[in-house]
Amino acid sequence: MTHPILVPILALVCWTLIMWVWMYATRLPAMQKAGLDAKLVKEKRELDVLPRAVRQVADNYNHLHEQPVLFYALLVYSHLVGLVDPLNVGLAWAYVGFRVAHSLVQALVNFVPLRFVLFSLGSFCLVAIALRGVIAALG
C-alpha cells in the first residue's frame, strides 16, 4: 500500500541520488584533469581549483542534505499523526518540485535571485506543513 504523504520523500531521496551521480560524473573527471589525487585531498578548499560548474553540482548535492531534513521530519510526523490530506500532500509535492528546480538552476546556470525565489517558495511549503501540524496538535 502506498501512503501518499511518504511518496514525496521517496521522490526527493531519488532526486538526491541523481544529484550524487551527477556530482561524481563531473567531479571525478575534473579532479583527474586538474591532477588532484582524491586520497591526498584533505580540505574542501583544495577542490576550489575545479571548474565552477563542477563545484555548483557538488554544492547542490550538499544543499540537499540541509533543509530537506526538515521536510523528511515533517512528512514522517504528518504520516504518524494522521495529518495526511490533499493540502499537505500537495505542499509536499510542491516542495519536491521547488527543490528539483532549485537543483537544476544551481547546477546549470546558478542564477542566485532565481535560486532564492525557489528556495523561499519551498521554505513556505515547509512552514505551511509545520503550522498545520502545530494547529492540529493544539486543537
For 71-99, write each residue's pLDDT tens digit: 999 999 999 999 999 999 999 999 999 99
In a domain, 46, yes or no: yes
pLDDT of residue 44: 78
User: How many domains does the chain divide into?
Assistant: 1
In a domain, 2, yes or no: no
For 34-59, write each residue's pLDDT tens digit: 888 777 787 778 788 999 999 999 99
Residues in the chain: 139
**The domain spanning residue 80 has which CATH number?**
1.20.120.550
In a domain, 13, yes or no: yes
* Distances 22 to 77, 84, 86, 138 between C-alpha atoms, Å: 31, 33, 33, 43
In a domain, 117, yes or no: yes
In a domain, 93, yes or no: yes
In a domain, 26, yes or no: yes
Q: By residue range, what is the domain housing residue 69?
A: 7-138
In a domain, 1, yes or no: no
Among residues 32, 62, 29, the alpha carbon closest in space to that of 44 is found at: 62
In a domain, 45, yes or no: yes
Q: What is the C-alpha separation between 74 and 72, in angstroms, rounded?
A: 6
For 101-120, write each residue's pLDDT tens digit: 999 999 999 999 999 999 99
